[in-house]
Amino acid sequence: MTNQPAQLFTAIDSLLAAVDNGTVLPVPAERVRLREAAGLTEAAVAQALGVRVPSITAWEAGRAEPKGERLEAYRRLLEGLAHRYPPDVPAGLQDAAAPSTFTAPSGLAEAPTLAPDPAPETAAAPGNAQITAGPLPAVPTARPVSTTRTSTSGRPGTRKAAAADASAGGADPRFENGPLAVIDVEDGQVLAYCTGGLVLDVPAKSVPSLVDWTLAEAKIGQPKLSGPGKDADPLLVLTEAALKLYGLPAALTDEERLAGRLPEGHKVIKQLVRAEWKLTKRGFGPWARIYRPAQGSERACVQLCIPSWNALDTRHWGEAGQLPPAELARVLGLYASRVMTPRGSTAVTGLELMTALHPPTRASEPDADGTRYSERNPGSLGKEPVDPAPCEAPDGHPLLKNLPRFHMRGPAEKLFEEAYDWARPMTDDECMRRHLVGVDVNMAFAAGANGLPVGLGAPTHVTNPAFDPKLPGSWLVDLSHVDLSHVKAGKEWVDLEGSLLPSPFTPQGERPEGPAWYATPTVAYAVELGYEVQPLEAWLRYENGRYLDGWYNRLRDAYLATMAELGVAVDLAPADFLRAMDGYKGRDPELAIVLSAIKATVKGGLGKLRERPRGEGWRPGEPWRALARPTWRPDIRAAVISRTRINLHRKIVKHAAFTGQYPVAILSDCVVYAAGGPSPLNFLPYREGKPLPGGFKLGVNPGLVKHEGTQSVLWGEEVRERFNAPDLNLARYIKDGTVTDADDGE
């Protein structure tokens, strides 16, 4: 019995450890109460912790959290204050109020709902997002975007995630202040707003000295994402006030904007030259890179992002460029921690992420003399670009320079794997229904990349090959005999209304008329539907691998983690999911910006795999800059799009076979059905909460679907009549119903 108190204390300590891992702080309001109860100013606390006053303001507003040693010190301060200044308690209980150890202050009892606790998920579970399944989490309240860096607006529901994402550098002491900083000037003082609410004084008064300070003192950057890779260079985001201080224009002239850079004779560029700094071939533009040649493995490079020069495209970054410095640091910092430090546009970053996860080279094993050499990293695309097959080359490629000048290549000469743009007139039965309901596949192209074998090297030409569904490549084959009125759906043959279905083999949904070039997933689907194929020739890639798996996993995790913070968790019941999605972007507009950028990274990165010439004085038949990249791979892009389109068609066939319902329009990853009610639940065949196997399933995971929009059948008929187009693609307008004259003929 003498050990019973010790056992009890041990049990209690275990319980405390289970709910507090040493990083939990009181809620923001309690932090303010404790400081004010002690009569301490923000400046006094800031001085003691070695940070600026805006950092304390951000911590007390819940807009950011301290990290590392500052987190421990700040927690220690709050522990001591909580011991001395307990919260108000009812009369007669004062003697019991003072805690002997740090207890949860009263504010913690009112703590907002946090992101769900970690839990394993199904096959689509993220590797590091750790999103929980279960009931719908409490929806966070709307968080206004602050207009000053001392705003005290709270951010319910995201305190835990904010602390976890405070620094993409994690525990790496080289990058303890995070991956980036927003440089601003206030009252003549240059400030660096870092992730996690930290604000640093910047002594630099010129761009060269700013670069020196960043590399020598700022401790900004991001660790490499792969073993043989490279650490991310620090990113500095310059506000208009910073541009003025450093002698840079607030906006580019029309001529400079078209050129994408400042003229070589600009005074700041001359300053950099005198300081022996260099610029990349793209010059001093919205995403400038300033460097010195590497000395061994040591890099000396800083990247600039200039929002007022349109570095942050509003199509993908919304109003991020207009945010105050601290808010912009939060948005870009979250993106950096979940995806990577931006390297340019979202498209550029999407492509760079592929390389960061699969660096082209690695150090070899030491030879007999102990010397290591650079060798190709297995599973990567290598250092050297490879030519595409002629059928994969876009018009104007050097491989096609001997074609007649105005020759138009048909499907038997050119691989044409693109997303759907298909529609048909509605049947009489569909016109009798009241609603048109659109569902949209989440992260469709990312899901199409998951688990997809793609070529890693150059193609090999083969004549009359036997088709191999596991072999990436391009196949010339006649699929015109595939009859959609009689196909296999799984193991069973089913009869369908083939005229109401798009062909899975063409983007416009038209039935092919003869031999055409297709990527492997398209031909494999013809076999899956129950039909034999006999390729005439092929360009095959015997060296292949699942190059995009890591890329998919990281972007999936980023997407799911951000959706969870916005109140949309995985594995919600269908009705709960629809409810969670209602207005989810308004719960935290800054997180909505991060989400938009993540989605754009997927599509843009895949698009960059077949980048066309832009403003380079290019002529057909001549090479263009992008062709020099190992990641210029139109075959990989074609394979992902092929698989994405096939995945969608497979769901459509399953749905039609089970329900007798057919789509009236498809645009990329959005499908529109006529339904008796306004909700997807009015036409999706759920039974006891379970979806049709292989069909459409509501949910947040990539590959599942969400509600895109609902309009009336009458609206659809009126729109088509207005433009005299019975097969106008209504999926293009289903989201909000807005149709303008400019849309005619798209």
Inter-residue contact 625 to 369 (CB < 8 Å): no
Query: In the chain, pLDDT over 70 holds for what percent of residues?
Result: 84
Give 686-691 contacts, CB < 8 A, sequence gap 24+.
686/574, 689/573, 689/574, 691/574
Q: How far apart are CA 672 and CA 680, in angstroms?
A: 10
Q: Are residues 106 and 189 in the same domain?
A: no
DSSP state of 493: E
pLDDT of residue 218: 95
Q: Are residues 83 and 174 in the same domain?
A: no
Q: Where are the beta strands (DSSP E) in 150-227?
A: 180-186, 189-194, 199-201
Per residue in 235-278, pLDDT (tens digit) is 999 999 999 999 999 999 999 999 999 999 999 999 999 999 99
Q: Are residues 325 and 187 in the same domain?
A: yes
**Torsion over CA of 731, 735, 739 and 740, rounded to 10 degrees?**
-110
> Considering the domain boundaries, does residue 56 fall inside one?
yes
> Considering the domain boundaries, does residue 38 fall inside one?
yes
Cα 195 → chain centroid: 19
Q: Are residues 106 and 173 in the same domain?
A: no
Helix (H) / strand (E) element for 517: namely strand 515-519
Q: Where are the beta strands (DSSP E) in 253-370?
A: 278-279, 289-295, 298-305, 361-363
Per residue in 700-711, pLDDT (tens digit) is 999 999 999 999
Q: What angle do CA 628, 629, 630 make, to 5 degrees?
A: 120
Q: Are residues 244 and 328 in the same domain?
A: yes
Per residue in 710-727, pLDDT (tens digit) is 999 999 999 999 999 998
Given 3-state DSSP classes, what are the helix, strand and coil percentages for the chain, each rounded to the nearest 5? Answer: 35, 15, 50
Residue-number span of the structural domain to which 335 is assigned? 169-361
Q: Are residues 99 and 216 in the same domain?
A: no
> Considering the domain boundaries, does residue 527 fall inside one?
no
Which of 337, 361, 385 delimits the end of a domain?
Answer: 361
pLDDT of residue 108: 31
C-alpha dihedral sign at 156, 161, 167, 173: positive
Task: Give the SS3 label for residue 730.
Answer: helix
Inter-residue contact 570 to 129 (CB < 8 Å): no
Q: Are residues 59 and 208 in the same domain?
A: no
Q: How far apart are CA 726 and CA 93, in angstroms?
A: 77
Task: Give the SS3 label for residue 685.
Answer: coil
Inter-residue contact 537 to 461 (CB < 8 Å): yes
Q: Which residue has the tokens 């460097």?
A: 291
Q: How far apart are the first and last CA of the chain?
A: 83
Q: Are residues 246 and 102 in the same domain?
A: no
Q: Where are the beta strands (DSSP E) in 336-400?
A: 361-363, 374-376
pLDDT of residue 431: 95
Closest by alpha carbon to 521, among 486, 470, 456, 455?
A: 470
Comparison of pLDDT for 92 and 639, the residue scoring more: 639
Lookup: tokens for 660: 């007798």
Q: Are residues 95 and 239 in the same domain?
A: no
Whole-prediction pTM value? 0.80
Comparison of pLDDT for 368 and 647, the residue scoring more: 647
Which of 300, 335, 361 delimits the end of a domain?
Answer: 361
At 36, the pLDDT band (50, 70, 90 cuts) reads: confident
DSSP state of 615: S
Q: How far apart are CA 113 and CA 500, in angstroms?
A: 47
When the pLDDT of each residue in the chain is averaged and rounded to a whole number, the result is: 86
Task: Name the residue type at position 235.
Answer: L
Lowest mean pLDDT among 44-53, 519-528, 575-584, 647-656: 44-53
Q: Is the pLDDT of residue 645 over 90?
A: yes
Task: Say if strands 235-238 and 278-279 run parallel, antiparallel, or are unpaired.
Answer: unpaired
Q: Are residues 197 and 57 in the same domain?
A: no
Inter-residue contact 350 to 244 (CB < 8 Å): no
pLDDT of residue 11: 61
Compute the average pLDDT of residues 373-395: 94
Residues ≥6 apart with Cβ < 8 Å to 496 = 484, 485, 486, 487, 653, 656, 657
Comparison of pLDDT for 673 and 28, the residue scoring more: 673
Is 223 exposed, middle or buried (CB count within 10 Å of its CB: 0-12, 13-18, 19+)?
middle
Per residue in 395-410, pLDDT (tens digit) is 999 999 999 878 899 9
> Considering the domain boundaries, does residue 664 fall inside one?
no
Inter-residue contact 709 to 681 (CB < 8 Å): no
Lookup: tokens for 642: 């092929």
pLDDT of residue 7: 66
Using the CB atoms, write b or e for 139-163: b if 16+ within 10 Å: bbeebeebeebebeebbbbbbbbbb
Q: What is the DSSP string of 261-277?
A: S--TT-HHHHHHHHTT-
pLDDT of residue 6: 62
Count of all residues that appear for the chain in the document: 746
Q: How far apart are CA 230 and CA 232, in angstroms?
A: 6
* Count of C-beta atoms within a 10 Å radius of residue 241: 16
Q: Where are the beta strands (DSSP E) in 286-433?
A: 289-295, 298-305, 361-363, 374-376, 421-423
Q: Is the pLDDT of residue 157 over 60?
A: no
> Considering the domain boundaries, does residue 44 fall inside one?
yes
Q: Are residues 220 and 341 in the same domain?
A: yes
Per residue in 275-326, pLDDT (tens digit) is 999 999 999 999 999 999 877 667 799 999 999 999 999 999 999 999 999 9
> Considering the domain boundaries, does residue 412 fall inside one?
no
> How many domains does the chain divide into?
2
> Considering the domain boundaries, does residue 354 fall inside one?
yes
Q: How many helices (H) and strands (E) would you count in the chain?
A: 21, 22
Helix (H) / strand (E) element for 655: namely helix 634-659
Inter-residue contact 676 to 682 (CB < 8 Å): yes
Inter-residue contact 412 to 515 (CB < 8 Å): yes
Lookup: tokens for 331: 């948005």
Q: What angle do CA 140, 145, 147 make, to 5 degrees?
A: 155
Which of 80, 111, 142 delimits the end of a domain?
Answer: 111
Q: Are residues 302 and 212 in the same domain?
A: yes
> Considering the domain boundaries, does residue 743 fall inside one?
no
Per residue in 46-96, pLDDT (tens digit) is 888 888 888 888 888 887 888 888 888 898 899 889 888 888 644 433 333
Q: How far apart are CA 733 and CA 583, in angstroms?
A: 19
Inter-residue contact 641 to 668 (CB < 8 Å): no
Per residue in 609-631, pLDDT (tens digit) is 999 998 668 899 999 999 999 99
Q: Which residue has the tokens 């989400």?
A: 595
HEC letters along 435-482: EEEEEEECCHHHHHHCCCCEECCCCEEEECCCCCCCCCEEEEEECCCC
pLDDT of residue 15: 54
Residue 278 main-chain phi, psi, to 5 deg:
-120, 160
